[in-house]
Amino acid sequence: MNIKQVSVLLSRIALFVIYFWFGFLKVIGQSPASDMVQSLFDKTIVGIIPFSSFIVLFGLFEMAIGVLFFIPKFEKTASVLFGFHMITTVLPIFIMSDVWNGFMLPTLEGQYIIKNLALIACVLNIWVSLEPQKSKVNDIILTTL
């Protein structure tokens, strides 16, 4: 196994552990991020679904992302879901002042969000390792040339 394969494997394991674990904590009502999620929920989608249901569904969504990163051939699906998740999890930096102690001074919650840059790097590491998929259109074009 070469260093590229090891780095991809470690990225997959890290994403699985983080997403499954953090999601599970939400499902069982023990997530330290629940207050921040509740605050964002109250500012964005309150009234659509009760928060108690939302937090469990959100946790299950995170757990699914983790599992998909761990299953070969599902990395692209996981990456798309991850992208959506990143959009939702970065929102507090822009719409909630309580994640900042001052200019460029994040609170613990703000640091929790900023660390997502490392997760993005893991996903990009996995993405670039994937084999390009052949399409039938490319095959048709190549055979007609």
The answer to pTM > 0.85 is no
- Predicted local confidence at residue 136, as pLDDT: 54
51 within 8 A of 38, measured Cβ to Cβ? yes
Average pLDDT over residues 89-98: 80
99 within 8 A of 106, measured Cβ to Cβ? yes
pLDDT grade for 141, boundaries at 50, 70 and 90: low
- Predicted local confidence at residue 6, as pLDDT: 93
Residue 143 pLDDT exceeds 80: no
Residue 110 pLDDT exceeds 60: yes
88 within 8 A of 61, measured Cβ to Cβ? no
Residue 86 pLDDT exceeds 70: yes
For 90, how many CA atoms within 13 A lie in the half-sphere containing its CB?
12
pLDDT grade for 133, boundaries at 50, 70 and 90: low
> What would the pLDDT profile of 21-48 be if each residue is shown by its tens digit?
999 999 999 998 888 888 888 888 878 8
In the block, tokens 């674990």 appear at 21
Domain that holds residue 137: 3-144
Q: Tokens at residue 43, please?
A: 């500012």
How many structural domains comprise the chain? 1
42 within 8 A of 55, measured Cβ to Cβ? no
> What would the pLDDT profile of 67-82 be if each residue is shown by its tens digit?
999 898 899 999 999 9
Distances in Å between the alpha carbon of 21 and those of 13, 66, 67, 78?
Answer: 12, 9, 11, 16
Average pLDDT over residues 77-99: 87
Backbone angles phi, psi at 102, to 5 degrees: 165, 180
H or E element, residue 58: helix 51-70
